Amino acid sequence: MKKPELFQLLGLFALLAAASASRLTAAETNSNTTEALPRVLLIGDSICGGYEKKVKQLLAGRAEVVKNPGNAEHTATGLKKLDEWLGDGKWDVIHFNWGLWDIAYRNPESKNFGHLDKVVGKLTTSLPDYEQNLRTLVARLERTGAKLIWASITPVPDGEPGRIRGHEVNYNAVAAKIMAENGVAIDDLYTLAIPQLTKLQQPNNVHFTTAGYNLLAGQVADSIVAALPGRKTAAKQPKPNIVFFLADDLGYMDIGANNRKTFYETPNIDALAVKGMRFKQGYAACPVCSPTRASILTGKYPPRVGITDFIGAAQPEKWARPTKLLPAPYSEKLAHEEITLAEAFKAHGYATFFAGKWHLGPTNYWPEDQGFDINMGGIDRGGPYGGNKYFSPYGNPRLPDGPPGEHLPDRLATETAKFIEANRDRPFLAYLSFYSVHTPLMAREDLQKKYEAKAKTLPNNASAWGQERERKVRLVQDHAVYAGMVEAMDQAVGKVLAALDRAGLAERTVVVFMSDNGGLSTSEGHPTSNLPLRAGKGWLYEGGIREPMIIHAPGVTRAGSTCDTPVTSTDFYPTLLELAGLPPLPPQHVDGVSLVTLLKGKSLARGPLFWHYPHYGNQGGSPGGAVRDGDWKLIEWYEGGLELFNLKDDLGEQHDLARENPAKVKELQAKLVAWRKEVGAKMPAPRPSAANSPAGQQQ
């Protein structure tokens, strides 16, 4: 008997065995082998039906593969039928998947309940129900003693009637968490399919072409082979962890790595720059906080997400200041439909952690609702305004108080370090979003004293002031309390990096440091100076948007390297996915560009960067937009007026070249206008003339 024939015969015996009896029968019947083939049960929906045949071919002679009869449908069907499918339960490997049916919408009017109705109506299974059902199913599968492999839900294309693109990511995230908790292997068909989706999937349909099913089958067969008895699971290269530090209101010139003469001391952040790459033209997508925060978490420009001002700013209908224009309306929460950076990582089995300032919406829109497993202190507020503010008790519903007097940045670092230690054996995303160095201006007493003494040693020993429109602007860094706040935050960064070292994770953890807008220099205590950059937080000049930005990606970035390419906060999303070896999510991070090429020291045509801030901030600025293209920057003030700067020659934006170079103004303004249209930017409105009268002047 030739080998292929033997394998065919074995396959036949296997089928007989599956149909009627236990595998002992198969072993006894097959007198030519001393051992029966391992038994593999496939449980799945029509996608599984699509790759079933090829998987059986690929495993012929190595395993007896049986699929559940028909379609596994949704998790509720699984709960009803699982015992029937398991039969005697003597399986070596069970490869299973639920989800595609669960995320389908059914027409509640339909009587034809046996099929997907292809009409958006009621979601088959809510996310909490899916989680509960899947937990029960996994518990029952575990009792079989088989090695378990869970296959992620394959992508839903845009335009498929009956399902919404993106739901699969959220359901995969929940499933990945359950599998991680239960030690179930993951066969990530989602990640496999994403890059080639348009080629391998049928148009506007979740089903695949033959080539697509063959691709899936190859990976399914490999995952089964790796789990077969006597096989050691091949040790995979662990995925890198991500630690993302986001400072609040820290200016570009506030760290030693960017400013050797800074009054403040930031040895830990400077050391990070020495290990990784420092961006000299890294921008925030907005000169105030909530919009930039949204841009990092969504990979989209703020006007596309609708969050164009800090949440809490007065909407136009409540606007009381006697301004020329009415500010544009803006969204006061980050929509659940956005697949946040945290949700994207969670979908691939990452543990996700948030600590600190959130400021992206009311209750039900906090970090735990946007993909973070743990939330320490992230709420609606834009500052530490409860209790004793920067010192415990904090009066924060998401941060249990520490001992009286405990300092907030240190506590957030402690929590982050604890999370890192607890998750040292699985990939994680830790997002430490400091409340520091935002107002209220409060420092640890020892640090304040240290910098009061240091201020006395400054050459002129006096603050100096300039003018930015009607506001005075600080020109010298010498604020002792602010300096103390900067150093305390830097120490907190050091504490987290030390935890990575202790856990032995420093060489497989990507570390990012960024701030959400420029340093506060024209209001609310005017604590810092951004010179030579013009103005500060709340302004479209460089002082308001150019940020301290560092990325250390072990094995990718060269120690102590710098980058001069202008990049912006929407770019983190695709960059971090690529660094983690995860597939991009292009419809989500539509405004981001992966910076990995730059991190490797190569050049990248990043393209122009845009800003839209249709609001009167608290720092003296007025509504405007801006575009940065090469060395040029155009600011369009919506009250009227255009300013053109060449940043290469004029970093301080002192020489407006708009009159000298009308062609460049026209070119850049056309780009800005086209971009506003593309992202659906809302504009400030002209005011009814009555509102401009002194009677309308409140505030």
Give 249 or 309: the residue with its C-beta nearer to Ca ion: 249
Which candidate, 229, 221, 292, places its Cα nearest to that of 54? Answer: 221
What per-residue string of b and e applies to 240-257 under the rule 16 or more CB within 10 Å gives b? bbbbbbbbbbbbbbbbbb
User: Partners of 64 in the beta sheet?
Assistant: 39
Considering only the stretches 233-241, 288-296, 363-371, 408-416, report the one whose residues sit in contact with Ca ion under the rule CB under 5 A: 288-296
The residue sitting closest to Ca ion, measured at its beta carbon, is: 289
Least Å distance, CB 640 to Ca ion, is 28
Instruction: Give the nearer residue to Ca ion in terms of CB position, either 50 or 291.
Output: 291
Smaller CB separation from Ca ion, 50 or 382: 382
> Would you list the DSSP string of 126-163?
-HHHHHHHHHHHHHHHHTTT-EEEEEPPPPPPTT-TTB
- Give the range of 283-291, 298-306, 317-325, 506-514 binding Ca ion by CB under 5 A: 283-291
Q: x/- contact string, 202-241, with Ca ion (CB under 5 A)?
A: ----------------------------------------
Choices 97-105, 243-251, 406-414, 669-677; region in contact with Ca ion by CB under 5 A: 243-251
Q: Exposure of 599 by Cβ count < 10 A (0-12 exposed, 13-18 middle, 19+ buried)? A: buried
Helix (H, G, I), strand (E, B) or coil at 435: coil
Give whichever of 217 and 540 is closer to Ca ion, judged by the CB atom. 540
Choose between 101 and 435: whose C-beta lies nearer to Ca ion: 435
Closer to Ca ion by CB, 44 or 519: give it. Answer: 519
Least Å distance between CB 512 and Ca ion? 17
Query: Which region, judged by CB under 5 A, interacts with Ca ion, from 92-100, 226-234, 247-255, 476-484?
Result: 247-255
Q: How far is the CB of 357 from Ca ion (least distance, A)?
A: 8
Name the minimum Å distance from CB 313 to Ca ion: 13
Nearer to Ca ion, 375 or 517 (CB): 517
| Nearest distance from C-beta of residue 183 to Ca ion, angstroms | 41
Q: How far is the CB of 438 from Ca ion (least distance, A)?
A: 6
Which stretch in 173-181, 285-293, 344-352, 583-591 sits in contact with Ca ion by CB under 5 A? 285-293
* Residue 678: CB atoms within 10 Å: 14
Q: Does 248 bind Ca ion (CB under 5 A)?
A: yes
Taking contact as CB under 5 A, which single stretch among the options 270-278, 281-289, 444-452, 631-639 is the one that binds Ca ion?
A: 281-289
Q: How far is the CB of 258 from Ca ion (least distance, A)?
A: 18
Q: Which is nearer to Ca ion, 91 or 572 (CB)?
A: 572
Q: Is 249 in the site for Ca ion (CB under 5 A)?
A: yes
Calpha distance 293→310 (Å, rounded): 10
Helix (H), strand (E), coil (C) string for 75-106: HHHHHHHHHHHHCCCCCCEEEECCCCCCCEEE
Q: Output the smallest distance, CB 289 to Ca ion, in A.
A: 3
The residue (of 247 and 672) whose beta carbon lies closer to Ca ion is 247
* Binding track, positions 339-368, relative to Ca ion; x by CB under 5 A: ------------------------------
Contact criterion met (CB below 8 Å) for 437 and 486: yes
Q: Which residues pair with 66 in a beta bridge?
A: 41
Site stretch for Ca ion (CB under 5 A), options 105-113, 146-154, 196-204, 289-297: 289-297
CB closer to Ca ion, 249 vs 254: 249
Identify which of 307, 313, 314, 258 has the alpha carbon closest to the alpha carbon of residue 282. 258
Q: What is the rounded CA–CA span in Å between residue 612 and residue 304?
A: 10
Of 486-545, which residues contact Ca ion (CB under 5 A)? 516-517
Q: What is the size of the binding site for Ca ion (CB under 5 A)? A: 5
DSSP run (H or E) holding 227: helix 210-227
Answer yes or no: are the C-beta atoms of 510 and 241 closer than 8 Å: yes
What beta strand segments (E) does 234-365 contain? 241-247, 277-283, 325-326, 351-356
CB of 97: closest distance to Ca ion in angstroms?
Answer: 43
What long-range pairs does 570-573 form, CB within 8 A, spacing at least 24?
570/285, 570/295, 570/296, 570/298, 570/299, 570/300, 570/301, 571/299, 571/595, 571/606, 572/244, 572/296, 572/299, 572/341, 572/512, 572/514, 573/296, 573/297, 573/298, 573/299, 573/341, 573/344
Closer CB to Ca ion, residue 86 or residue 289?
289
Smallest gap from residue 252 Cβ to Ca ion (A): 13
Q: How far is the CB of 216 from Ca ion (least distance, A)?
A: 45
Q: Which two tokens stand for residue 579?
A: 């660094």
| CB nearer to Ca ion: pick between 289 and 412 | 289
Q: What would the x/- binding string for Ca ion be over residues 95 to 134, using CB under 5 A?
A: ----------------------------------------
Q: Is 263 exposed, middle or buried (0-12, 13-18, 19+ CB in 10 A)?
A: buried
Q: Can the peptide bond before residue 65 be classed as cis, meaning omega within 30 degrees of 0?
A: no
3-state SS record for 508-570:
HEEEEEEECCCCCCCCCCCCCCCCCCCCCCCCCCHHHHEEEEEEECCCCCCCCEEECCCEEHH
Q: Which residues contact 171 (CB under 8 A, 6 or more apart)?
A: 99, 102, 103, 127, 130, 153
Q: Least CB distance from residue 312 to Ca ion, whole Å? A: 12
x-marked contacts with Ca ion along 69-88 as a string, rule CB under 5 A: --------------------
Closest CB 288 distance from Ca ion, rounded Å: 6
Nearer to Ca ion by C-beta: 289 or 642? Answer: 289
**How many residues are present in the chain?**
699
Write each residue from 27 to 46 as x if it is in contact with Ca ion (CB under 5 A), else as -, in one continuous string.
Answer: --------------------
Contact status, residue 525 vs residue 439, Cβ threshold 8 Å:
yes
**Orientation angle between helical segments 480-502 and 408-422, nearest 10 degrees:** 10
86 C-beta neighbours (distance < 10 Å), count: 19
User: How far is the C-alpha of 499 from the C-alpha of 493, rounded, in Å?
Assistant: 10
Smallest gap from residue 515 Cβ to Ca ion (A): 8
Alpha helices of 437-536 — where are they, by DSSP H? 445-456, 480-502
Instruction: Please tell me the distance from the alpha carbon of residue 662 to that of residue 645, in angstroms, as a whole number.
Output: 12
For residue 154, what are its two tokens?
A: 């394959």
Stretch of 35-43, 85-93, 249-257, 317-325 contacting Ca ion, by CB under 5 A: 249-257
Among 37, 43, 55, 289, binds Ca ion (CB under 5 A): 289
State the nearest-atom distance from the C-beta of 466 to Ca ion, in Å: 22
Q: Of the two residues 92 and 542, which places its CB atom closer to Ca ion in the complex?
A: 542
Q: Indicate whether 635 belongs to the interface with Ca ion (CB under 5 A).
A: no
Give whichever of 177 and 546 is closer to Ca ion, judged by the CB atom: 546
Classify residue 547 as left (phi > 0), alpha (psi -120 to 50) or beta: beta
Contact present, 571 and 615 (Cβ < 8 Å): no
Min dist CB 247 to Ca ion, Å, is 8
Which positions touch Ca ion (CB under 5 A)? 248-249, 289, 516-517
